[in-house]
Amino acid sequence: MEFLGVLLIVPINPYLEEELDRRFKLFRLWESPPGRRREFLQANAPSIQAVVGSTAAGADAEIIDLLPRLEIVANFGVGIDKVDLPRCRERGIRVVYTPDVVTDDTADLAIGLAIAAMRRICDADRYVRAGSWKGEGDYKLTSKFSGKTVGILGLGRIGLAVAKRAEGFGCPICYCSRSEKPNTNYKYYPSALELAANCQVLVVSCPLTEETQHIINQEVIEALGPKGVLVNIGRGPLVDEPQLVSALLNGRLGAAGLDVFEREPHVPKELFKLENVVLVPHIGTDTLETTKAMSDLILGNLEAHKLNKPLLTPLF
């Protein structure tokens, strides 16, 4: 049987790369000389039927147009904003991704970021390491997470998992989604602004689209207020970053826990000095267990496609 030619856009993890290389004919895009990506794609286009990308870089219009034999795009993650979906549909290219297996890790991190930001865990850690506990006495009082009203923007798989975890801390739950969800007793608000005005911790977990870009704007941040906490586990551009930075610097927002940023890996330096902000480098799904499960889903989908069997996790 002819090997499936697979283009890997960026390095993802050694296990996935090794298995792709073992099972398929693998092309590594980053091995193309600087400034010669187009030539690399054109030279190898006759042999490439599949593309594997990530939340950092995926199958954009240029890649799709340069690969006339492309049949399937596999996205390592649930965020698909790096894939040109209209172009894929137009060409009849299948798209698969890795839902479900990422849910627990991302939801765990959301709760962890909220607690770390409110209890100032990272700053308290620095306080101990600097010898300040011995020299200056006890650390200052902080704010509890338990019992706070948690608003969730985007009540999909991850949003629901965040809600269930927050309920374990005695937190009332409210949410905003494109439409009201059946079979839930959580309070629904039709806009991000109304949600922010009625919660104390706002967790952003909706997909990034043209409609949701900067959905967390100055008005929403003002509604959350100087005692409010913003947690972003979705995508960086969901939040108007300059407005967020300004609100944190002048106390118009109480705290933030951020896993994602507008221009990753660039993070506003103004945030580095703030004790009420927790910053992590887009690690929502980065555990050994989940990375392995995501890789196996990618491999399983590509194997199914090669054998003309039903795809495991098709987006379409």
Task: Tell me which residues are annotated as active site.
Answer: 235, 264, 282
Q: Walk me through the domains of the chain, giving residue ranges and CATH numbers.
A: 5-99+288-306 (3.40.50.720), 103-279 (3.40.50.720)
Positive or negative, the CA dihedral 30, 3, 310, 103 is: negative
Predicted pLDDT of residue 2: 61
pTM over 0.85: yes
Q: Running along the chain, 316 residues long, what does each successive block of 10 average in pLDDT? A: 86 96 96 90 97 92 96 94 95 96 97 98 97 97 98 97 98 96 95 98 96 98 98 97 98 98 96 97 95 97 97 96
Angle at 258 between CA 254 and CA 261, to 5 degrees: 120
Q: What span, in angstroms and rounded, lies between the C-alpha atoms of 103 and 293?
A: 12
Q: Which of 263, 254, 183 is nearest to 225 (CA)?
A: 254
Cβ pair 88, 59 in contact under 8 A: yes
CB 41 within 8 A of CB 85: no
